[in-house]
Every structure is written in structure tokens, then in C-alpha cells.
Structure 1
Amino acid sequence: MKIGSIEAKKGSKAFGFFETGITHSRFSANIPMHVIEGSSDGPVLVVQAGLSGLEIEPALILPKVVQEIDANELSGTLILVPLMNTSGFEFEQINSVWDDKNLNELGRGLEAGTVSEQMVHKYYSEVISKADALLDIHSGSQWSYHRYAGVYNVGETTKSRSMAIDVGLSQVLINQPEDKSMAFEAAKDGKVVVSAWIGGGPGLRDYREQDMSRIRNAVMNSMKSLGMMKGSVEFEESATDVIEAHTIVMPTGERGFVFMDTDKRGSTVEVGDSLGQVRHPFEGHIIEDIKVTKKGVVLFAGASWPVLPEGTMLAIVGDLVEQIER
């Protein structure tokens, strides 16, 4: 397969920079990309990460995953982007430096748009459009910690759910909220799409090795799920909980130090149970007790740092619709 100037022949690997445009100073706007072309035909899987310049965990392990894969044992094509937002990474921020836009909120982009919109447009047109499946890897940046696989309620929902289960994490979220991402556009286009939310926040310090292993397994398991590699899927737990979200807990407007009860994650909560508190930053008293409004299971997802950017999701609660034991 050839993407821009990056070309991998049968049974080989290639790395390069996919050129998507230029900046006002005529610098190249590009995306680092690995292409692995298997020795036999098969599906095309795109693995992308680092749309936020602060979601760095995947870039710590994905190049090693590329090294681990034997192209001669692969059926189909793997296109892997370890860190898409290189300008945000350089300047330690979520958005692209070129135009202060969030790459995860630009849909398919615009051919005649800003630098980031052009980048997303060309990438979607020439990379995602060729894919049979997309594994969209995210972390919680500096403020949140996550550990689940999510699928949208559009497109190839059955196949996406199957691959999400095979990603190997202990929780799968169905009915993932619609958004403005490339992943959601790909789902609408009928691609098999899974969002793998792994790491972030204090996890980079406390669970780094475990999360690196989870990201590695997510890629390998996805290829096995699609029939691109031989071998058995590696699951983290003896059971996978499939959860349908019913409550996305967001800030109510009260501000201060936010402390979420992370011990509740993975457990069943009742109406009225406390999910966390907002405390006065100087006097220490409780300003708000964040309560459960509908019984359900708490996802391994949400805020893990007391001072949060505006609009940061605090928690997700949903109904357990299936428990797959093995």
C-alpha cells in the first residue's frame, strides 16, 4: 500500500511523514505514520492516537508494537499513527498550534479550511477512507483516567461491538455519545470503529506499565479479531462487562477542588450514592456532593485530578446489558 510518499510492499514495513499541507510560514504540516503490508490480502486496519497533544501514552508503546509485528505473518494492512497532533505535542497542549483547533472535533475536516481542517480532510480522504476498521486510541490527558472500549450506536454496530469486546479490556461501553470526531464519521460511513480509552491523569505515573500493556494488547487483539493475525485474543479479566451508558456526569457549575470516588469505578451504585465532591479551595468545606441519579455500573472513566478544565467529564454510569464470562 502507498499513502502519500510512504509505501510498503508485500511482507514489509515502511515509516514516513504523510504530508497534509503547509503552514503560513510554509512549514510542512504532516502526520508520522507506519504502514505494514502483510504477505497476503486481508482487511485494512487503521490505528490512530495522539489527536490531543497531551495524550502521549500511546506513543510510548505503539512504535514497539510495530517492531513486534512480523509482516510476513500478517494478512492485510496495518496503518498506524502513534501521535497525530505533533504541534500540540511540541508545545504541550491539547489543540494544534497552527490554528488552535482540536483535531478530535473537526469531523472529516475541510479541503479549503484552516491548517488542521485541511490535515484532517486529507487524512480522512486518503487514509480512513481505505480502512475496513478503525481503532481510535485515547487517554485522559492530564486530568482523567480511563480503561474501557467504546462503540457508537451507528453503522456496523454488531461488528464494532465484537471487536470492542476483543480489544480485551474489562468494560465495553455501547451507545457511546455522538461527537464531532473522525471516528464518529467513520462509523457513519460503515467502518468497524472502536474507541479504546486507556490511561491518562495519574495513571501515567501509577499504572504506566499496565496501560502500555493494555494499549499493546488492544492493537494485537484487534488484528486477531479481524483475522489479520493468528493466535488467541488476550483478555484482561475472566469476564467482560458490556454497559449501555445512561448518565454522563458533567460539572453542574460549582467550582473548586473536584474529588471523584475512584473506588466506585467498576461497581454498582444506587440512587443517592455519592460519586464525588466539590470542595472549597480555601476553606475546605463541601460545596457539592455529586450524587447518583440512576442506578447502574460506574465505568472506569472520568476525572482523576482536582482542578479540571471547563467541561471535563466526571463519570459515566450505565446499565449492565451483558456479562461475557470465559
Structure 2
Amino acid sequence: MKILDEIIHPGETKILNLEIARLHTATKLKIPVVVSKSKQEGPTVLLSAGLHGDELNGVDIVRQIIHKGINVPAKGTIICIPVINIFGFINKSREFPDGRDMNRIFPGSKSGSLAGRFAYHLIQYILPHVDYAIDFHAGGQSRFNAPQIRIAPNQSELKELAEIFSPPFLLYSSQIAGSFRNACAKLGIKMLLFEGGKSMDINAEVSTAGVEGAKRFLNHFGMLQKKFVTEKPSAPMIAISQSVWIRAKKSGLLHDQVKTGVFVEKGQTLAFISDPYGKENTAVKAPNSGYIINVNDSPIVYQGDAIFHLSKNIVHEQERVKS
């Protein structure tokens, strides 16, 4: 296998460096790409994170996979890129220094913006080798996502792979133009998008869900070494086809009452929004029964801010986790 002008021989692990641009100080920036190829032929799986530079939980998941040696396959090839957006990672920022969201700019351009050039290099030099991919993300600032996989509707193979990964939740969401997931779909690469935790935070439970799901995924293809044991999830995956964002009707201090992952009933009080002077204390209630899949844990909200993500239509039910 030849990637980035480097030859990877069977049974070999190499750390390649994707160099695209330098810092404004003229310091070189290298994106490490860890490629491990088995002596036995098999599929190629890409495990990537850090497309948004402030989403550290995904970075930690891929880091753990490398640190534990899970990335050394029993067969096939595993490519790990723990941090794609190295500029955002350095700046603790979601975007590139040019202000662009790389996850909206694929397939990019060889002579375009900085983010576009990164996207172009991934498309040209990494993705042609890939059969399957898992891209690890986290929620936005102060918005904590329950561990979940997102796939497009009516994709039977992706649904099967999501069931193998077996996160607490599966969300059906359409492809977004310019996204990494959409670019992979156009190239025939089967990608699962993992969401869990929030930006600028590392949550141990989310990291464990990501690592264990990746192990189950690799084991399905016979790529996981026998020394690693796959753990069964504590509960069946819940598939959600529709969901709704509950937004703040007033500005003020947010006092959360429920956490991610729990089932709530229609009309149940989820939180209170109060003014800082002790005059008002407004309840936030569930518009329908469903699972809480995202919580805004910011102590201050403005009118219109999204504060809860609530499922509406549950495809596969499990024993409910009461709040």
C-alpha cells in the first residue's frame, strides 16, 4: 500500500505526515496519519477525529485506540487520524484560521482556502484507500450529546454497521452538502458519524462508548486481534427517526433538571429558567414523550437558545431509563 508517497508493507505500522501549510511563524505543521497493515488481506478502515479542532472527545477516542494497540489489525488495514484540523486544535477552535468550517467545504480545492486545501488532500490522498470509516465528533459549546451514531435514512448497510457499533442511540439524519460524510458517500465509502460529549471537554463514559463501539465494528470484519475482548452494550440501541429542539422562551439562568439519555414524559418539567433578581422562575416542559439526546449545560441562556434535543419518533424501543 502506498499512501503519501510512503510504502506500507504487510505487518508494518508507519506514522506518515500530511504537510499542507505552515503557521504564520513559518513553523511546519504536520498531521500524523497512523497506518497499520496486517499480513492478511482485508478491508481498510479509517478512524478519524478532530475535524472540528475543539471536539476533544473524538480525539481522545482515536488516541486510546492507538495507545492500546487496537489499531494494529488482525487483517486488513487501519488508518488513524486523531486530529484532522490541526490549526483548530492549536487554537482551541472549531474552525480553521480562515473562519471556515471544514465540514462544510468538501471536496475542497487544491488552490482554494486553507480549509478547502485540507479537504482536497484528504479526498486525493487518503480516501481512495478507504472502504469504511468512523468519524468521531462531539457536541457544540456547552451542549452535551449522548453517545450516538448518525446515518442517512434508507441505508441498510449503514444501519447494520450502526447496530454492530451499538451506541446508546442511532439518529437518522440526511447528508449535509459539503460535509465529510457526504464526500465519503459519493466515493462509496461507508461512514458512521459518532457524536458524544461536548467541545473542549473529555468525558470518560463517552470515550468508552466510542472505543468499545469501534472494537465491535472492527471485530465484525475480523480485524480485531484476539487479545482484545469486545463488551456487549448494557442496553439495546435506540433508533430515532425524528427529533425536536426545545428552545428557551426567556433569557436567564438555566437550572437543568434532567440529563442526557433519560426518557421523559410529555409535560414533564425538564429545567427552570430564572432571572438573576429572584422575580421569575419559568419551567421548561417536554412537548412530547421521548429521550433526551442533548442537553445545554450552560448556566446562562438567551431567548431562542437550544437547551434540549428530544426524540419524537422512536423506531426501536428499549427498557426506559427514567429521569
Q: Specify the TM-score bucket, using the shorter chain as the normaliser.
A: 0.7 to 0.9
Tell me the CA shift for residue 151 of structure 1: 2.9
Letter in 2 for 1:293: P
Residues 4 and 18 in structure 1, CA contact (< 8 A), matched pair in contact too = yes
**Partner deviation per Cα, 1:118-146 (whole Å, 9 max, x = no partner):** 11122123223432111010123541222
The equivalent residue for 1:247 is 243
- Return the match for 1:213 from 208, 215, 227: 208
Q: Give, as a single letter, the amino acid of the residue that structure 2 aligns with 1:319.
A: N
Taking every aligned residue pair, what percent have the same amino acid on both sides? 18
Query: What amino acid maps onto 2:130 in structure 1?
Result: A
Which deviations, in whole Å up to 9, do the C-alpha atoms of 1:241-277 show, x marking residues without a partner?
A: 33224223054674433444433x3333333333334
Residues 248 and 307 in structure 2, CA contact (< 8 A), matched pair in contact too: no
Deviation at 1:86, TM superposition (A): 1.3
- Residues 161-180 of structure 1 correspond to what in structure 2 (within 5 A)? 161-173=159-171, 175-179=172-176, 180=178
Give the distance between the partners of 1:285 and 1:201, measured in 2 at CA. 33
The residue that corresponds to 2:79 in the other structure is 79
Question: Whole-Å Cα distance in 1 between the matches of residues 30 and 100 of structure 2?
Answer: 15
2:166 and 2:213 in contact (8 A); partners too:
yes
1:139 aligns with: 138
Q: CA deviation at 1:219?
A: 2.4
RMSD: 3.2
Contact map agreement 2:47 2:62 (CA 8 A) in 1: no
| Structure 1: runs of 5 or more not aligned | none
Contact 1:171-1:242 at 8 Å conserved across structures: yes
SS across alignment from 2:211: helix
Match of 1:127 in 2: 126
Contact 1:260/1:276 (<8 A) preserved: yes
Match in the other structure for 1:149:
148
| Counterpart residue number, 1:234 | 231
Q: Deviations over 1:43-70 (max 9, x none)?
A: 1111110112211233335334224337
Decide which of 194, 200, 204 is 2:198's aligned counterpart: 200
Q: What is the alpha-carbon distance in structure 1 between the residues aligned to residue 70 and residue 264 of structure 2? A: 45
The question of whether the paired residues in 2 share the 8 Å contact of 1:10 and 1:39 is answered with yes
User: 2:143 is matched by which residue type in structure 1?
Assistant: S
The match for 2:299 among 289, 306, 325 is 306
Superposition deviation, residue 78 in structure 1 = 0.8
SS at match of 2:120: helix
- The answer to whether residue 184 in structure 2 is matched with residue 190 in structure 1 is no
TM-score, L = length of structure 2? 0.82
Partners in 2 of 1:60 and 1:80 — Cα distance? Answer: 12
The number of aligned residues is: 315
Partner of 2:48: 48
Q: State the TM-score, normalized to the length of structure 1.
A: 0.82
Deviation at 1:21, TM superposition (A): 4.7
Where does structure 2 lack aligned partners over 5 or more consecutive residues? Answer: none
Query: How far did residue 289 of structure 1 move?
Result: 4.1
Mapping 1:95-134, distance limit 5 Å: 95-97=95-97, 99-134=98-133
Q: CA deviation at 1:298?
A: 2.6
